[in-house]
Structure 1
Amino acid sequence: MSDDGREQTGREHVPSRQRRRFPGISSRAYEHPADRSALVALRKLSGFDTVFKALSGLLPERSLRLLFLSDSVRVSERQFAHLHDMLLDACYILDLEKVPPMYVTQDPQPNAMCIGLDEPVIVLTTGLVELLDEEEMRAVVGHEVGHALSGHSVYRTVLLFLTTLALKVAWIPLGNLAVMALVTALREWFRKSELSADRAGLLVGQDLRASMRGLMKLAGGNHLHEMNVDAFLEQAEEYDAGGDLRDSVLKILNVLPRSHPFATIRAAELKRWAESRDHQRLMDGHYPRRSEDKDASVGDSFRESAASYKSDVKGSKDPLMKLVTDLAGGAGDLGGRVRRGFDGFRSPAPPKDGPQNGDGPQNGDGPQDGPRGASGQDGE
């Protein structure tokens, strides 16, 4: 056992360059506001996930575990040792006490996932392992450990289970519409949770360029010499601003069935967060602790989520989002004009300090302060 409490296995568990560690860090420190608001609300439901963990026998989780154990390679000191070191390093940096098991499964499609109710399991495909270099893979492993720390594996499985149950009653009138609304909302949360995990990957790797390269490779394959990070980010800006209202509608339709945001959007979002004050404060050691999670306010989290969506809409260059912003601004102006119109029907308020210069009665138009006649008597 080393001085810092980590077990030594004959291999170096820390990367070649110094990285900052985050003792006791709460996942709220890196979660996207929309993701965080949902998680804080679910965590407040005492026993919610415990009940579903007890019912895990009804879900295919046990079957998946047996499948990975029998037909995949479990990462350890003796198998994929470099991935094992990355896993230990990621758990050390994010202070995750229980190291989740990790498997490598044969699949040419580059992918990674964190699943499980009873305990999270991380799965990497051979396509991903062969695609990424060491620093890019470190960010991916940190991404999956971030999912585990946030509890995404539990709550995702729970909500997917609820969605499956809802599909069985879709024959009820309007039931299908309700199910589709639930699935759409669930996928929106999934996409935001991926942005959260990207941030966790950056906290573990602490190399923004490596995170960018990994996302580029997911989009364009192992042709790094043919790609450029800055040009890749320019694609995200062009995607956001380009086209007309028809393109805006097509963007929405394209993203609705996806569980992950598009790669260029993920890269742009991660770069924006890396340059934010929140990230800098986190790197300086100012972040919420896990011990404070029970005191997290659901209301504050939802307000932060609403503010985040409002900021996204207001700052977007997308034609539809600009139209929404303009309509909202126009509605505000209309409300102001209506209010001013009603002000015109109000009775004027009496002056507080009596008549002002030019506002009082003129000579001969009203009673005077002095006597009317020189003798002090009423004139005839």
Structure 2
Amino acid sequence: MQPARSRIFGSTRELGSLKRFLSSQELMARDKKYGSKHFEPLPVVLVKGEGVCLWDVDGKRYLDFLAGFSTVNQGHCHPRLVKVMRDQAGMLTHISRAFYSEQHGELGEYLTNLLGWEKFLPMNTGVEACDTAVKVARRWGYKVKKLPNEQATVVFAKGNFWGRSIAALSASTDPKCFTDFGPYVPRFDRVPYNDLKALEQKFKEDPTVCAFMVEPIQGEAGVVVPSDGYLKGVRDLCTKYNVLWIADEVQTGLCRTGKRLAVDYENQRPDILILGKALSGGLYPVSGILTDEKIISCLEAGTHGSTFGGNPLGIRIALEAVKVLEEENLAENARKLGEVLRQELQKLPKDIVTEFRGRGLLSGLVINKDFAEGWDICLKLKEAGLLTRPAHGQILRISPPLTITEEQLREGLNIITTVLMSYK
């Protein structure tokens, strides 16, 4: 009979009156048997999170250097977020937008005052918020720019990633996303990322363009940071050609890069800003767009909606999540520790790490594939007590919760350095 384990870390199955714990291998086997194989998880079964740390079913502690793909910026199970979630769950969780709630307007007021737009439209997931931005931009194209019916074109940067809905994969240039899922959404076009000449050429040759959607830093593409001046150039070109600039900050927004928003590095203001992920600190799916009255007014009653979007539970959590980021000064922590991260990782041998990318605590290490595959490195990191995943095979993501301390960061950097140097 297996020895007793703390119930904090366990999973059980009932066999009459006898309770036995499932092993991690049994749990993973069950998942594979009954789940869909559309994603390949790292082989670890997690049951507890607190701050920057995670624990598996065996009670082993890990440093989380992925943060749910930059979602738990506030750290796992932040006590303030847990409290408001419990309090709100016992009061009112869902009424749909058929009625008013106290929370909806409160979050809108807070975000618009904090970030400098006039209106906030809440949704649930990042891909829904991106889809909403595209819908609003097309509506604006017909109602304000007066484009011919069914001709509004949206341009995207190549290498973009904003989800896996039909619209998102229609904008993608990654064959893994779009192959065998057509037909695709029409009048989506693409230009190279970080290329202002190509963008202007597209605007010149196609007067039906209503919007350009771009990530200020491309996350899933491998933490690709554009040249200085690119965002200002995007703003200038969009203004010149009467095109809406949509900034997808689902991953880069809310302090991750060392500022509230990645566009703040060039002090630029997009026409539509998309937020998600850290907007709720990982406790509940909340996303949305920020824009101005002249743009959002193109939507009339009945033209957009979501059953769960703007529900009291999600909105209350989101409000507290953003307040935590502000009151705990997590943008500054990301900026300060991001410099430590850069300085230390740039010391690694160039024959192992060919490039460091990133801003703040959104970073990527490009690994020389002649030494090791990214997946194999992540498996070794797991064994050493650190969790992350590769992007595009050879780019090691480094995006811990923003609550991380310098001591915890250096502990993680030591693990990364030790594992990488073991390949020498």
**TM-score tier after normalising by the smaller chain length:** under 0.3
User: Could you say which structure has the larger radius of gyration?
Assistant: 1
Q: Which has the higher helix share?
A: 1
Query: TM-score, with normalisation over the residues of structure 1?
Result: 0.23
Query: TM-score, with normalisation over the residues of structure 2?
Result: 0.22
Q: Which has the higher strand share?
A: 2
